[in-house]
Amino acid sequence: MWHPLQAEFPQQQPLTGFLRGPSEIKTGEAIGIVTCGSGCIRPVKESASGWLETAFYDPRKHAKLVVMGRKNGMPLLLRLAKRGEAKAEDWPNLRSWLLESDAESFDLLATAASLANWQEQHRYCGRCGCKTQPRNDEYAHQCPRCHLRQYPRVSPCIITLVWREDALLLARSPRFAPGVYSTLAGFIEAGESAEQALHREVEEEVSVKIGNFKYLGSQSWPFPNSLMLGYWAEYQGGDIAFDGIEIEDAQWYPFDQLPELPAKASISRYLIDSFLRWKGVDS
């Protein structure tokens, strides 16, 4: 019998050929540049990926770009969009672009978006206020005065499909595309375990009790820096109730009467599809 933990979700596979972190780049070396910022990405029409610009490394032009790593040996650099650039040139929204990307592009673009947010938001030391400098041996900024190191921020979140014997609990937030229902999600608070966050978030959002957690996998979601930890959770009791603000609707859906679901590349959809496969239902 098919088992959910043997299921393939692209983000559970290693990103082959990609070495993360800075490295020394020689003048004249072939490089790839991705440009993003303000939640948008600069399209590059002439590239196969649609987003990677190629160039030869020139320290006068490229020394200030962020080195993401090397893909099959080629340095990948990140350029932060200038203020107003994305709007003036009508760049596409990175969120929707990501969900239509293949798994490899998803990983690289999620890395670029996370690093771009970090660069934009952590330019000064949080302890003494001095302007920080990038380190050349790891993803980190260091304060030249007090030596505090800051690393790209990753915020763990839980995301969970709540199920019972004959139905799935799906909800929608006002931020979703019209008609789309999804799984429940929320940030893990300081000092909290993932399991405690599952109990708390689901109770806060829809007032039901859950248990019997099964971890299915994770996905980076760089808006601005989430790491989604995906679970199934079995319903244990209570009636659905929600606040109408964060959650505008939540219902039990029988397996054969599901509403419109999130994009295929999202972990929420993976949680739903893998559950239905486990139950032997075609989705």
Please report whether residue 5 would count as binding Zn ion according to CB under 5 A.
Answer: no
Of the candidates 63, 128, 154, 241, which one interacts with Zn ion according to CB under 5 A?
Answer: 128
Please report whether residue 177 would count as binding Zn ion according to CB under 5 A.
Answer: no
- For the segment 133-152, give every residue that binds Zn ion (CB under 5 A): 143, 145-146, 148
CB of 147 to Zn ion, least distance (A): 7
Q: What is the DSSP string of 240-260?
A: ----SSS-SEEEEEETTS--B
- Pattern of binders to Zn ion over 234-253, x per CB under 5 A? --------------------
Please report whether residue 123 would count as binding Zn ion according to CB under 5 A.
Answer: no
Q: Report whether 182 contacts 254 (CB < 8 A).
A: no
| Residue whose CB is less far from Zn ion, 134 or 186 | 134
Please report whether residue 132 would count as binding Zn ion according to CB under 5 A.
Answer: no
Q: Where are the beta strands (DSSP E) in 165-246?
A: 167-172, 184-187, 209-221, 226-237
Q: CA Rg, the chain, in Å? A: 21
| Residue whose CB is less far from Zn ion, 133 or 196 | 133
Q: Which of 165, 168, 160, 167 is nearest to 203 (CA)?
A: 160
- Beta-bridge partners for 36: 41, 80
# chain residues binding Zn ion, by CB under 5 A: 8
Please report whether residue 185 would count as binding Zn ion according to CB under 5 A.
Answer: no
Of the candidates 127, 131, 149, 279, which one interacts with Zn ion according to CB under 5 A?
Answer: 127
Helix, strand, coil content of the chain in percent (nearest 5): 25, 35, 45
Check residue 79 and report its DSSP letter: E
- For the segment 24-63, give every residue that binds Zn ion (CB under 5 A): none
> Where does residue 113 rank: exposed (0-12), middle (13-18), buried (19+ CB within 10 A)?
buried
CB of 22 to Zn ion, least distance (A): 21
Please report whether residue 130 would count as binding Zn ion according to CB under 5 A.
Answer: yes
Q: Site residues (CB under 5 A) for Zn ion?
A: 125, 127-128, 130, 143, 145-146, 148
